[in-house]
Amino acid sequence: MTTSLMEVACYIGGLFVAPPEMPRIANTFGYAIQHLYFFVAAPALFLPIGFVLMGTRLLPRIFAWLALTLGATFAALGIATVKDLVLPSAVTAFAAVQSLWWFAASIALMLRSRRVAEEIEPSQPASAD
């Protein structure tokens, strides 16, 4: 969250034209923060989630393996591109993959909660009103 907030602050900072160098400074700092997301923030989120999901039945096991894979891939991409001043477009585009994980996980949780609710709630007999 902090990484994202810092990145947004750089985008907003880029809108200010006083001093004249402010847009360039904010944009350059924003590029540096994008690197931080790849090799710190995303792995710090997905790796622990993957390990926790390995020990639960909250989601199907594939989500744990995918979270671990995402965390490791983000870390690898972050380390591999740390010397690039601007992240390559393909690396930046990879960040969208995490949205698919969250979307699929939310659908799996909704489907699971429906099944659990059906198992817990006994069938209600129809009333004779």
Answer yes or no: is 85 within a domain: yes
- Output the six-digit token pair for 125: 């007999």
What's the per-residue H, E or C state across 63-81? HHHHHHHHHHHHHHHHHHC
pLDDT at 123 over 70: no
> CA–CA separation, 118 vs 102, rounded Å?
24
Tens digits of residue pLDDT in 38-51? 989 999 999 999 99
**Inside any domain, residue 48:** yes
**Which pLDDT does position 102 carry in this prediction?**
96
For residue 66, tell me if it sits in a domain: yes
More confident: 73 or 5: 73
Are 73 and 50 contacting, i.e. CB atoms less than 8 angstroms apart?
no
- The reported pLDDT for the residue numbered 98 is 93
User: Would you say residue 44 lies in a domain?
Assistant: yes
Which tens digit of pLDDT belongs to each residue from 58-114? Answer: 899 999 999 999 999 999 999 999 899 889 999 999 999 999 999 999 999 999 887
Number of structural domains the chain divides into: 1
Range of the domain at 88: 2-120
Token pair 């009103």: residue: 129
- Whether 93 is covered by a domain: the verdict is yes
Residue 43 lies in a domain: yes
Q: In the chain, count H helices and then E strands.
A: 6, 0
Whole-prediction pTM value?
0.77
- Answer whether residue 126 is part of any domain: no
User: Is 108 inside a domain boundary?
Assistant: yes
SS3 11: helix
> Which positions ≥6 away from 10 have C-beta within 8 Å?
26, 27, 29, 30, 33
Q: Tell me which DSSP letter residue 17 carries.
A: -
Start-to-end Cα distance in the chain: 54
